[in-house]
Amino acid sequence: MADVGRRLVSLELCAGAGGMALGLEQAGFDPIALVDHRDVACETLRANRPRWSVLRRDLLRVNPAVDIPVDRSIDLLSAGLPRVRSAATASRSRGDGWELQLLDTTGHWIWQLRPRAVLLENVPALVSRSEYAESRSYLEKYLDDAGYEFSWRVVDACNFGVPQHRELGILVAFRDGGLAAFDTALNAVAPPPALTVGTTLRTSMGARGWSRADEWASFADQLAPTIVGGSWDRGGADLGPAGSQRAWARLGVEGKSIADETPGADFEWDPESGEHRVRLTVDQVAELQGFPSYWQICGRKTARYRQIGNATPPPVARSLGSAVRVGLSC
């Protein structure tokens, strides 16, 4: 039980806006380094935690033994890797197979650095669908070779205090045992009282004097659909494809764009009309994703939205990190 009560050391890959890192920090992990290839993500991390060692690097071109300041053993290697498709789909869509290269590179980092535990987050299909078996093998071969005990699972963010249905594909691995204790600790997490879009955003919707904020909040009495960050390569900020936008419309929210500010005092709300539904701001999307109000997301509107939508919700990372600590203490 030597780990109980002391801060542990982590290394994070593809850190993005810091949702995973913030949750793990709350669970008792301090990052020895955080790696991401996007300037704006690194700017976000540095703005919020100036003392963190943030490295702008392309994982496919990094030698961890040379480029990462690892001068002590690592308790946890974590990563929120970019959306992974099946091996067949990835090979057809991009000749370089970059998604599978990232999986393979992450596996090699694990094999080379031998952290005590591993926590990776990605799409639920990577865990649950048979056509992703080859993709999973890009990591599993390294874990098997290094003697890790590991498990794939799907969790829903709504069970950890996040007001949206958001399924996450999770890989957790332990080098020296602890998986059973992790499972017990995670299963013991009691779901908090259910939040809804309305209860979460009621205050911010009325911040500029909108008289119907309470009425809208009562109408939007469901969990949010999954917040979709979208592609960095094209388009502006919106709340996802047509199916997602229809789900938002049922909450009285227009999903075709992101607002610069919340409704004014004279806003005419009509949930049946796209022109008169409320639109969410970037800050409100961050709130639905579980980011605290003090967490600064850098960049312009679309870049901020992309970072938030692609992040691991901090409350989920905190619960997973706390369960990892239990596993490491055994």
Q: Are residues 215 and 187 in the same domain?
A: no
35 vs 81: CA distance, rounded Å:
11
Q: Are residues 201 and 185 in the same domain?
A: no
What are the distances in angstroms from CA 289 to CA 13, 23, 90, 195, 227? Answer: 20, 12, 28, 12, 8
Q: Are residues 312 and 237 in the same domain?
A: no
Please determine, for residue 95, whether its predicted confidence score (pLDDT) is greater than 50.
no
Q: Are residues 312 and 270 in the same domain?
A: no
Provide the pLDDT confidence category of residue 88 given band limits of 50, 70 and 90: low
Q: Mind listing the pLDDT tens digit for each residue in 281-322?
A: 999 999 999 999 999 999 999 999 999 999 999 999 999 999
Q: Are residues 188 and 100 in the same domain?
A: yes
The parent domain of residue 286 ranges over 197-299
pLDDT of residue 3: 61
Cβ atoms of residues 145 and 137 within 8 Å: no
Q: Mind listing the pLDDT tens digit for each residue in 106-136?
A: 999 999 999 999 999 999 999 989 999 999 9
Q: Are residues 111 and 251 in the same domain?
A: no
User: Residue 101 maps to which CATH number?
Assistant: 3.40.50.150
Provide the pLDDT confidence category of residue 90 given band limits of 50, 70 and 90: low
Taking the model in full, what pTM does it have?
Answer: 0.94
Q: Are residues 183 and 264 in the same domain?
A: no
Cβ atoms of residues 160 and 319 within 8 Å: yes
Residue 3 resides in a domain: no
Q: Are residues 140 and 232 in the same domain?
A: no
Q: Are residues 34 and 116 in the same domain?
A: yes
